Amino acid sequence: MTTIDFMQQANALREELITRRRDLHRHPELAFEEFRTAGIVAEELNRLGLEVQTGVGKTGVVGILEGAQDGPTVLVRADMDALPILEENTFEHASSVPGKMHACGHDGHTTIALGVAKLFAAQREQIKGRIKFVFQPAEEIVGGAKAMIADGVLNDPRPDVTLGLHLWNGMPLGKLGVADGPIMAGSLVFTIKITGKGGHAASPHLAVDPVVCAAQTITALQTIASRNLNPLDSAVISVTYMSAGTAFNIIPQDVELRGTVRFFRLEVRNQVVERMRGIVNGIAAAMGCTATVDVVDHVLPVVNNAEVGAKVRPVFERYISADQFVMDERTMGAEDVGLLMTDIPGMYFFVGASVPNQDAYYGHHHPRFDFDENALPLSVALLSAAVADYVMPE
């Protein structure tokens, strides 16, 4: 374990980090439109002397910091995109773009990874191995990691370990979510089409009503989590969209339902999909309708590797006492960082960053979301310390 005090180094960057974060916050860009952000990232990485690739997965940027000696390759991942939300914060650095907002903290993540790059660029002589900084677009539509992988981000050089973090305003500053195993859910979206036979609303006996069939289907789908899955497993099945009909006096021909399934284990995903097909087709048959179920997988669960966790947590203890570690911080929210950790061991951790003295809690994706900027230098220190444990072994 290196004896470098990364908190001291990160604190020296404090003003720079806050300035950068506020600039990014003021100029949010949506998924695959991160042109300004990617430009800033590429310019800074170039200035620091990294080998820079742009346009990786459309708007992604990769910077490789080659150490003085050979050793492992560590992937550091940050996401860059904002959300289609009209910001309601009134501080001076609030979004300057109506309808777009950094409401999840990705402005902070980009800032933090640039801070880590700056610290290591200044001590390249001590690095054994290399650090691959991955600035990913389009996390919010879970498309960016896939696009970067398609463009080869996991090759030449292939990472030995993936590290990343999420600022987490549901936990106070000083708390760290460092659980092993699945911490964020895998996600799929489904589309169900139920077809009956249209007709006059006053003559239902001459029609086959897909609306009634859809209503029973929605209700029955709720029994998958409550009646079919092992109660010790976790899954969410949410029908979030339904479309049917054109007028009050017409029984429509068909109904479309859409929604999402969240899961921590692939076995659970498969069980849910199988039951979903059984329920949809069974109810449709009973009601004289026909039905189709289309499933599109979005992301895999984010699964922290236990060995990486066991290696990294003692490093974190130099900066945060172990009694502040939260070992059960998990969310059914999805994150495509899991794709960068599927066959590469990795650790994705949550840095507590709730805003003190707010009038109420405004969570991630809320128009008044914010995070404590004191989490910026702390996150730079923690991520740097974890990276150093791999590339600065002494």
Which residues are the active-site residues? 81, 139
Indicate the pairing of strand 250-251 with strand 199-200.
antiparallel
3-state class (DSSP) for residue 381: helix
Closest by Cα among 160, 126, 158 to 307 = 160
Residues that bind Ni ion (CB under 5 A): 104
Single out the residue of 301, 229, 223, 217 nearest to residue 262, CA to CA. Answer: 301
Instruction: Give the SS3 label for residue 358.
Output: coil
Amino acid found at 126: Q
Tokens 């089409």 belong to: 193
Q: Identify the three-state secondary structure at position 195.
A: strand
Report d(CA 116, CA 266) in Å as an integer.
34
Token readout for 84 is 């289609």
Of residues 83 and 385, the one with the C-beta less far from Ni ion:
83
25 or 275: CB nearest Ni ion? 25
Q: Which is nearer to Ni ion, 272 or 382 (CB)?
A: 382
Q: How far is the CB of 106 from Ni ion (least distance, A)?
A: 6
Residue number with CB closer to Ni ion (104 or 194) = 104
Q: In angstroms, how far is CA 67 from the centroid of its own chain?
A: 29
Cβ proximity to Ni ion, 192 vs 337, nearer residue: 337
Q: Which residue is nearest to Ni ion (CB)?
A: 104
Q: How far is the CB of 158 from Ni ion (least distance, A)?
A: 26
Return all residues near 385 (Cβ < 8 A) that are at least 6 apart. 2, 6, 315, 316, 318, 319
The CA distance from 123 to 2, in Å, is 13
Report angle CA 159, 4, 388 to the nearest 5 degrees. Answer: 5
Q: How far is the CB of 95 from Ni ion (least distance, A)?
A: 16
H or E stretch including 21?
helix 14-26
- Hunting for tokens 């001076």 — which residue is that? 92
> Measured from the CB of residue 336, what is the shortest distance to Ni ion in angstroms?
10
Q: Which of 285, 238, 291 has the alpha carbon at shortest distance from 263? A: 238
What are 392's two structure tokens? Answer: 């600065």
Please report how close the Cβ of residue 260 comes to Ni ion at its closest, in angstroms. Answer: 16
